[in-house]
Amino acid sequence: MTRKPLTYSGVPLDRAAELRADADRIARLLKSATARFVPVWTQRHLIAGTTPDQTRAVTLEYSESVLEAAAVSPVFLGFDGDTPWFALGLKDSETPPQIGPGEFRILNEVVSLLPAREAATLAYARAMVIWHANHMHCGRCGSPAASTEGGHSRTCTNSACGHRSFPRTDPAVITLIEDQAGERALMGRQAKWVNGMYSTIAGFVEPGESLEESVMRETYEETGVRVADVRYLASQPWPFPASIMLGFRAKAVTTEINLVDDELEDCQWFTREDLRAFGKPGTPHADKRLPNPFSISRFLVDTWLAEKP
């Protein structure tokens, strides 16, 4: 089965990682007439237009004032053809910087309006800018750290230390758990989510465990259900702020629900018929909704729904 890449994957750039160590080349690309900059301000992107056929991410051309607005050196993202792309982390300010047309918006709130290629590039830029903002100092000795390798590492400026760190992506597992017959799926919701939304079961991988062990532990902690037969399905970059979601299917060994760690406010078993009725007036599930269409959780649910009528 072929399918289109999950939202936020499929960045349409050649990352050209072999160039990152060539500081002179990167500096020339930065000031070239074709260079494009993706501005990121307080984790928001500059977006113009309000309807799907008009909405576009705004990118900037090189100018001295663009560089002066940056909080950290622009990060080399790669090439689109001959065009070099950079992420531009802007300085914090009370009001949005007047740097181009449009409005600064949170990516997850505008993603459904954007072309998939733009959404993926913005997610990549966002992840890099957030990493720099959170790693201004060396984690080993506390001295200032400098952006190196085109922004793909930071190096401690204390020559006695010299510690280098690299952009982090925190692995999180997310799992559609079905009962032994494959007729019901386990879905939960957190109190802070939008009203009525239920999702598959997710949590962060801890040091010292395999992904499969993480699925088993997280599911038990959140729902009290024991699972086995954990199978990997797909993954999705999730830079909110720094994760990659690893999608699984697993089989329940027990079915009794017990909200062990109180992370979920509710958790239930749903049949396919139940899930298809989510949001449908006149059904017991009219007040519920499926995960957002661009999320891997929705992909896991849709894949499961498609397996049986």
138 forms part of the interface with Zn ion (CB under 5 A): yes
CB of 14 to Zn ion, least distance (A): 32
Q: With CB under 5 A as the contact rule, which of the stretches 27-35, 57-65, 142-150, 211-219 interacts with Zn ion?
A: 142-150
Name which of residues 5 to 44 contact Zn ion (CB under 5 A).
none
113 forms part of the interface with Zn ion (CB under 5 A): no
Q: With CB under 5 A as the contact rule, which of the stretches 88-96, 98-106, 130-138, 246-254 interacts with Zn ion?
A: 130-138
CB of 169 to Zn ion, least distance (A): 22
Cross-strand partners of 238: 243
CB of 147 to Zn ion, least distance (A): 15
146 forms part of the interface with Zn ion (CB under 5 A): no
How far is the C-alpha of 304 from the C-alpha of 309, rounded, in Å?
A: 10
Distances (CA, A) of 12 to 21, 26, 119: 22, 19, 10
- How far out from the chain centre does Cα 151 lie? 19
What's the DSSP call for residue 55? Answer: -
Nearest alpha-carbon partner for 194 in 88, 279, 262, 93: 279
Interface with Zn ion (CB under 5 A), residue from 71, 141, 242, 260: 141
CB of 146 to Zn ion, least distance (A): 11
Helix (H, G, I), strand (E, B) or coil at 31: coil
**Closer CB to Zn ion, residue 13 or residue 156?**
156
Annotate each residue in 239-278 with x if it binds Zn ion (CB under 5 A) or - if it does not, as one string: ----------------------------------------
Annotate each residue in 149-178 with x if it binds Zn ion (CB under 5 A) or - if it does not, as one string: -------x-x--x-x---------------
CB of 178 to Zn ion, least distance (A): 48
**Closer CB to Zn ion, residue 153 or residue 235?**
153
140 forms part of the interface with Zn ion (CB under 5 A): yes
Q: With CB under 5 A as the contact rule, which of the stretches 131-139, 253-261, 280-288, 299-307 interacts with Zn ion?
A: 131-139
CB of 306 to Zn ion, least distance (A): 51
**Closer CB to Zn ion, residue 66 or residue 138?**
138
Distances (CA, A) of 232 to 2, 151, 196, 212, 215: 16, 32, 27, 9, 10
Token code pair at residue 226: 């024991």
What's the DSSP call for residue 280? Answer: -
**Closer CB to Zn ion, residue 6 or residue 72?**
72
DSSP string, 93-152: -SS----SSSEEE-HHHHGGGS-HHHHHHHHHHHHHHHHHHH-SB-TTT--BEEEEGGGT
CB of 26 to Zn ion, least distance (A): 23
Rounded to 5°, angle at Cα 111 from 105 and 113:
95
**Span between the terminal Cα atoms of the chain, in Å:** 18
Distances (CA, A) of 118 to 61, 85, 233: 17, 12, 25
Omega before 241 within 30 of 0, i.e. cis: yes
CB of 72 to Zn ion, least distance (A): 18
Q: With CB under 5 A as the contact rule, which of the stretches 134-142, 168-176, 180-188, 242-250 interacts with Zn ion?
A: 134-142
Contact residues for 112 (Cβ-Cβ < 8 A; gap 6+): 52, 293, 294
Q: Which residues bind Zn ion (CB under 5 A)?
A: 138, 140-141, 143, 156, 158, 161, 163
